Structure 1
Amino acid sequence: MSEIEHSVAKSSTVAPAGDGAGRPGRLKKTIVMVGMMGAGKTAVGRALAARLGVPFLDSDHEIEEAANMTIPEIFARDGEAFFRKKEAQVIARLLVDARGVLSTGGGAFLSAENRKTISDKGVSVWLNADLPVLWGRVRHRDTRPLLKTPDPKATLRDLYEQRVPFYAEADLAVVSDAQVSVEGMVDRVLAALATRPDVLEPEE
C-alpha cells in the first residue's frame, strides 16, 4: 500500500493546523480539492492544511456530522439527489465560514452551482489520477456507495469518463500518480498555487 493509499484509508478527517512556522505563504482563499474517489483529496488536503497552518475540512465528514448518518446510509435512505442538495449547501457554508483547505466528494464538482460557488469564493485544485491508480486505491474498500454494483471496476471507468471533462474546468490541475508520496503531492500542489498570488500570498 502506497503512502497516499494508507493515508486515504485513515478514518480521521480533521488534522490540527500547524503553528505557521516556515509555512509557504498566507492563505487568502480556501483551497478546494476536487477529483475522483481515490485521487487522494483527503490525504493530500490534510497534509497541505498542516503545511500551511490552516484548518482542514472535509465536506463528506461535515454532511455526516450534520445528518448523524454515514454517506452510504444517506444514499440508501434519501437517494443521491437529496445528498447532492445537502452537499451544495455544506460546500457553500464552508467556503464562507473559514479560509482553509476543503476536500470535496467525487461528485461535487459536477454541479455547475458548486463550480461557480468554488470559483467565486476559493480556488479549485484537481488531483488528476488515471484510472489504474484510482482502481488500485478503491478496489478493496466498501464505503463507496456508487461502486456497489455487479461490476465496480466498469462503474468506476464510466464515472471517470463522465467526470473528467468537469474536473478539467478546475482552476488548477495537479497529477496524482502511484509513485509520489503525500508530502510530494503537497509540494506539487504548492507549486501550482505559486501561480496564484490571489490565493496564496508568499511570506516576506
Structure 2
Amino acid sequence: MLTASQQKVYDYLKSRSRTGLPPTVREICAATGLKSTSSVHAHLKTLERKGYITRDAGLNRAIHITGDDDAIPLQVPLLGRVAAGQPILATEEIEGYIPYLPPRRTSDATYFALNVRGESMRDIGILNRDIVIVKQTPTAEDGEIVVAMIDGEATVKRIFREPDRIRLQPENPEFSPIYAKEVTILGRVVALVRNY
C-alpha cells in the first residue's frame, strides 16, 4: 500500500516510463509538487523497497518500473485454426504470438488471435489475411462481432439472437447469414492487426 505522495511519484514514473526517458529527481519534485529532493529520494527508496521500482546505483535517470504490466503488451497466441472438440489453446495449434496492449487490463482476461480467411466482413474493415484479436468469452451481446464455432469451423460474424435461432450476420452483401439453433461463442473480437 502506498501513501498518497508515494502513489503520486509512482504514477508520474509510470507516465514517464512510457516516453522512454526516466525523470530526474528535480523533475519529479516539479511534477508532483514535493518541496525537496530529499522527500523524493525518500519516496524512491520506499518504492524500491516495496518492489515498485529498481534503480541503478550512482546513475541519474536510472529508475525502472517493475511489474508495470499495463505498459507491456501481452503476447497473444495466434491460432491457425480451431479444431472441433479441442481446447482452444492447444499448443499444436499455435502458429506464433501477436503483441497486443489492451486498453484496460484485467487479470482474468484471456486473448487469442486468428487469421481471417475470406471477405465476409469486409464492409466493416475486416479483410482477408487480417488477424483479429479475440477476448475469450462464452457470451456476447446482440450485434457484437464474435468468433463462433459452427459445424466444426470457426467463423467471424456479428451475432444476433432471434426467437427460435441464432443468426451469424456477415458484413458483405455477397454473403448470406448463417442460421443455427445453437453456436459456441469462442470470444468477442476486440482488435484488428493488418500487415502491409
Q: Give TM class, smaller chain.
A: under 0.3
Which of the two has greater helix per residue?
1
- TM-score (ref. length: structure 2): 0.20
- Structure scoring higher RCO (CA < 8 A, sep ≥ 6) equals 1
Which of the two has greater strand per residue?
2
